[in-house]
Each structure stands twice: as structure tokens, then as C-alpha cells.
Structure 1
Amino acid sequence: MSKTAKEIVTSFYETDLIHTPEAFSEYLHPEVQLDWTSSFGFRKKNLEDIKMLFEGMSTSFETLRCEISHLVSEKSMVTLRGSYIARLIENPEKEEVIAHCMAIWELKDDKLYRGYMISQHGDNSKESLASFLSK
């Protein structure tokens, strides 16, 4: 039995992408395109750009994980809200919220195909961390 779109997206976001580069071919369609608006502006990313992004993060972070707080799916479309949490190489004993994001993914051939993401810098305020501290 094949996975649902929701299960595929969840599995992608739960994968340790900075230490598992082979996961990109498992989860991302060869023609993947991500339209990403962040505090740095708008960027359009393809498969190689996404791989390079996570490769770059692997030089700054000991660990990186995404905590999903909301996940909604309909057919081949999945929307999520989450926060990226990392242990920085400079301070590996402490986890910090580095970014908050919302993304919409369209799947094709059981892989992430078209993505639309908005993100902003994370913060370690009590309100921001409340959902993670309660786990």
C-alpha cells in the first residue's frame, strides 16, 4: 500500500536532511520547484538549489529538525505549519528555534513537486516555544 500525500510530506519533514543527502532523491521530484518567500526576499529553488541549501546548513548545525504544528491535506496537496529547531555547532548543547514556516506542497509521482513556502526567523520566546515544550 502506498503512502498518502500527508504521510510523504510528514516523512520528508521528519527526515534528518543535513545528514541524509540521499533522502532528496527519495522525496523530491526531479523537476521540483520551490517558490520561497523569506525575510531575505523571494527565491525560486530547484532540486540542486535545495540540496545545496541543506548542504550549507550541515556546516552550521549539529542537528536540524522540523516540528510540525499543523498539517492539512486534500488529494495531492499538503499544507503545513512548523518550526525548524537546530543545535548550532557553536553551542551544541542548546536547541534553538531558527525559523518558522508555512508551506504548501503539490505531489507528483508520490514526490514533492511544487512548493510554496513563507518563512521568517525563529525566536525563542515563551509563546513561540510553548507547543514544543509541552511535548
Structure 2
Amino acid sequence: MSAKKIVQDFYKSDALIDAKVMAEYLHPEVILEWNSTKGFLKLGYDEIISLTENMSKAYIRSKARINPIIVEKNMVSLRFSHYVKTFENPREEMLLAHFFVIWEIKDDKLFRGYQMSQIS
């Protein structure tokens, strides 16, 4: 599978709020370096799974709207906006944050990520 297809499938899936789906996409040695409006995080496999489990407690639906996506060999860069629906208000879609991320793909899995985000 191409690097672009892996990343597109990842963001179209429920991986951001479903730890079982997330685990399918992560390389066992994954590292995500994340610069957010709240500071810097360096997350490994277990921390990403834990974050996903926490997200699943607050949100019932998650959607990433990607624009654009750029690919060079095994590196995929994209900008996306992350929308969610909460348990309290499942009918209203809410913009959570804007993201820019570069993913390195290894063994058809997300291996190294470099991400920046800003809360909406």
C-alpha cells in the first residue's frame, strides 16, 4: 500500500477515538513529536494509545478534513482540521483544532510523526 493511502485511510478511520483502530496503524516503535498551543509532547506507542482512549471518553464521532496532502517517497505531509461530536451534544459537530503533520511510513505503519496544532 502506498504511504499516501495509509495516511488517508488512517485519518478517514475512527483511529483518533478508537484505540483498537489506532493500534492497527501504529508502528511498535512510533514516536510523535507534537508542538501544540499548550506545549511540546513526545509520545510513544503507549502514550498515543492512552491519548486515544481518553479521547473516546469525551467524543462519539471524529472527522478529519484534509487539505492539502503532499507525498515524497515514504513521507506524507498534510494539513487537517479535526471535528468532533460530544456525548453531551451528539448532533453538533465542533471544530476541535487545526493540525499540520508530517508522517514517515515504515513497514506500512505510522513510524515518525512531527505535528503542530492550534486549538480552534
* TM-score normalised to structure 1 length: 0.84
Hey, what does 1:56 align to over in structure 2?
54
- 1:19 is displaced (CA, Å) by 5.4
Whose RCO is larger (CA < 8 A, sep 6+)? 2
Structure 1: runs of 5 or more not aligned: 123-135
Hey, what does 2:64 align to over in structure 1?
66
User: 1:18, 1:63 within 8 Å by CA — same for their partners in 2?
Assistant: no
- 1:64 is displaced (CA, Å) by 1.0
User: 2:34, 2:41 within 8 Å by CA — same for their partners in 1?
Assistant: yes
Q: State the aligned residue count.
A: 120
Hey, what does 1:39 align to over in structure 2?
37
Hey, what does 1:11 align to over in structure 2?
9
2 CA distance for matches of 1:16 and 1:94?
A: 18
1:21-70 CA-to-partner distances (Å, cap 9, x unmatched) read 22233211000000000011000000111111111011111111111111
Hey, what does 1:126 align to over in structure 2?
none
Structure 2: runs of 5 or more not aligned: none
- 1:118 is displaced (CA, Å) by 0.1
Matched, 1:23 2:13: no
1:78-132 CA-to-partner distances (Å, cap 9, x unmatched) read 001001100112211100110100000011111110000000112xxxxxxxxxx
Q: Please list every run of at least 4 consecutive aligned residues from structure 1 whose deviation after the TM superposition is greater than 6 angstroms.
A: none
* Secondary structure in structure 1 of the residue aligned to 2:19: coil
Hey, what does 1:102 align to over in structure 2?
100
RMSD: 1.2
Hey, what does 1:79 align to over in structure 2?
77
2 CA distance for matches of 1:86 and 1:14?
A: 13
Hey, what does 1:133 align to over in structure 2?
none
The alignment-based identity, stated in percent, is 43
Indicate the structure with greater strand content. Answer: 2
Larger Rg: 1
